[in-house]
Amino acid sequence: MANPKTSPKTQQEAMAIAKATQKPGQTKEQTKLIAAGIQKGIEQYKKQHKAKARERDKAQKKRQKAKATQVETAPSVAPDTTAEVTHIETHAPSKLPWILLALSWVGFIAYFLSQ
């Protein structure tokens, strides 16, 4: 049961679980074998958990790196074009209706004066 890679905490957990599920008439050797199996299961679970955590970290770093490159490239192109578009949209549409209104009034006045 004493594996050099296994932590004492894992060994204690495995033995506690084995003793908790011990059947009447079960020998100490059988309990130790069961504890060894439980210990292997705990170790395997921890290995899988660490591997999944590494994969999540790698994926998160990739997302952060992609997001950082997006943020770096976007501001150099976007502000110039958006500034021009908003400048055109805010000034041209607000003047156009007034110009058309003035022209229509001039047209109406000229029509009535000509009659």
Q: How far apart are CA 22 and CA 5, in angstroms?
A: 26
Please give the pLDDT value at position 70. 83
Please give the pLDDT value at position 63. 92
Q: How far apart are CA 24 and CA 8, in angstroms?
A: 27
User: What's the rounded mean pLDDT across residues 76-100?
Assistant: 61
Q: Give per-residue pLDDT as tens, 3-47.
A: 567 888 888 988 899 888 888 899 999 999 999 999 999 999 999
Q: Is the pTM of this model over 0.85?
A: no
- Interhelix angle 28-114/8-20, rounded to 10 degrees, is 110
Q: Give per-residue pLDDT as tens, 70-87.
A: 877 765 554 555 555 555
Please give the pLDDT value at position 33. 92
